[in-house]
Amino acid sequence: MAETVTPSVKRFRSRKPSDPSEAMSHLRQRLASLGVSKGYNFPTRPRMSRQGIEELVQGTLHQTSNGPVFRVAKTYPVGSMHGETPLIDWLAQSQYTIARIGDDERLCRAGPGRFVFLDTETTGLGGAGTLVFLIGIGFFNARGDFEIHQFFLREPAEERAMLGLVQEAVWPDGGLVTFNGHTFDLPLLADRYLLSKLHSHLPTLPNLDLLLPARRLWRRRLSSCRLSALEREVLGLRRAEADVPGWLIPALYQHYLLTGDAHEMPRVLYHNEQDVLSMVSLAVILCRTFEQPQSPTIPVDDRLSLARWYQRHGMLTECETVYRLIMDDQADGGARAEALSGLATLLKRGGRSGEAVPLWEHLADLKLDTVGHEELAKYYEWQVGDLTRALAWTDAGIALALTWQPGLRRAEAIRALDHRRARLLRKIG
């Protein structure tokens, strides 16, 4: 039986070239009629040159039993400054002061020369998937030069080697200085050592975490105690344009891992290096301020913070000295009132209420609150037994509170003073 072919299929088959070269020519003509260019005529995208960290940063590749580690080392000779602070001034600080500002008696066991300043750069804010890809450590060598060694993770497979080399570089009988290391750097490093099945003494070393004392001293005056803010407000530093914001660093490293392009990594190394240097200067200034409260350059807000810091450590003589310095400086009303109240409370707790009387009287004259009136009423009622004077100071406090705008503060002050007044009247009657 003959095959039946539809006319359209028959026409298509009749036009099909039998020669392969003719078929290719026919295909090109069809593509050209559709506006398609030849493949080799497509515009090519310029390829970005990819450079490794070794080509961009002057460092050395160390071979260890766990593999290679890329390290960058830099030395700051004796006399080098960071801001207005000579780095070597750290070596002159008292280890007892270091222990006090760090709230850790173990910090006394080593002199300043056995401390290592440590800062890390990571791929995130914590968790099992967070890598520590850059560890910077700074320390003073036997000549008094300050050395910074930075260990860079070229790829995740080199982590065990990097952690092992850092472990060897930190003295097991010394201490660490960090900034927020207590809650971030050291716990994260402990996790990485554990996951790498390496034993480490780093998390067990006594740690002077500068963030905590910085907040105690400067949070009254500064809106932020981030390291970048302290550099501007305390150290008077402005970083060079080579710096990179800390929040951007994880993304830059992720880009490096994906592309192999290390062009942005020198900026990350610079950021880490400046962090280490700033920790040295901040540590020096914190120790100096704690030891020398009489320095005329200390702002009044910092003095108030310092007084409370001394009181927290039971350093009552130093606390009294600072309060009296504030009053002698003719501080503004709010600061002066706080100093008067703090010193009077200190004297009262020390059994020196008689010396506190003129302070409470001065406090009452400021008319900022009724604390002075209440304390004087208590003193004359319980210490002297002069109920009439106690009642007079109570009435003066009520009169002051009545001048305030209606609100909780006014209501509570009047309630407390009315209660005292009623009791005094009963006693007098």
pLDDT at 387: 97
pLDDT at 6: 44
Report the alpha-carbon distance of residue 99 to residue 293 in Å, rounded: 18
Give me 260's structure tokens: 């192999």
pLDDT at 3: 44
pLDDT band, very low/low/confident/very high, at 209 (cuts 50, 70, 90):
very high
Query: 3-class SS at 347?
Result: helix
pLDDT at 241: 81
Whether the predicted pLDDT of 5 surpasses 90: no
pLDDT at 14: 44
Give me 317's structure tokens: 């003589």
Decide: residue 118, CB within 10 A, 0-12 exposed, 13-18 middle, 19+ buried.
buried
For domain 300-428, which CATH number applies: 1.25.40.10, 1.10.150.120, 3.40.50.300, 1.10.260.40? 1.25.40.10
pLDDT at 234: 96
Q: What is the mean pLDDT of residues 401-410?
A: 96
Mean of pLDDT over the chain: 90
- Put the strands of the sheet holding 146-152 in their side by side order: 60-64, 67-76, 146-152, 132-140, 115-122, 175-178, 207-209
pLDDT at 44: 42
Whether the predicted pLDDT of 233 surpasses 60: yes
Q: What are phi and psi of 138, to 5 degrees?
A: -130, 140
pLDDT band, very low/low/confident/very high, at 36 (cuts 50, 70, 90):
low
Residue span(s) of the chain under CATH 1.25.40.10 come to 300-428
pLDDT at 242: 86
CA distances from 318 to 87, 297, 304, 340 (A): 27, 17, 12, 15
Give me 259's structure tokens: 């592309």
Q: What is the pTM of this model?
A: 0.84
Whether the predicted pLDDT of 4 surpasses 80: no
Q: What is the pLDDT of residues 355-382, one digit of tens each?
A: 999 999 999 999 999 999 999 999 999 9
CATH architecture assignment, domain 53-291: 2-Layer Sandwich (3.30)
Q: Map tokens 């009545």 to a residue.
A: 402
Whether the predicted pLDDT of 31 surpasses 80: no
Report the alpha-carbon distance of residue 207 to residue 176 in Å, rounded: 5
Residue span(s) of the chain under CATH 3.30.420.10 come to 53-291
Q: What is the pLDDT of residues 173-207, one digit of tens each?
A: 999 999 999 999 999 999 999 999 999 999 999 99
Whether the predicted pLDDT of 47 surpasses 50: no
Q: Which residues contact 307 (CB under 8 A, 6 or more apart)?
A: 319, 322, 323, 326, 339, 342
pLDDT at 19: 65
Q: What is the pLDDT of residues 53-102, one digit of tens each?
A: 999 999 999 999 999 999 999 999 999 999 999 999 999 999 999 999 99
46/223: higher pLDDT: 223
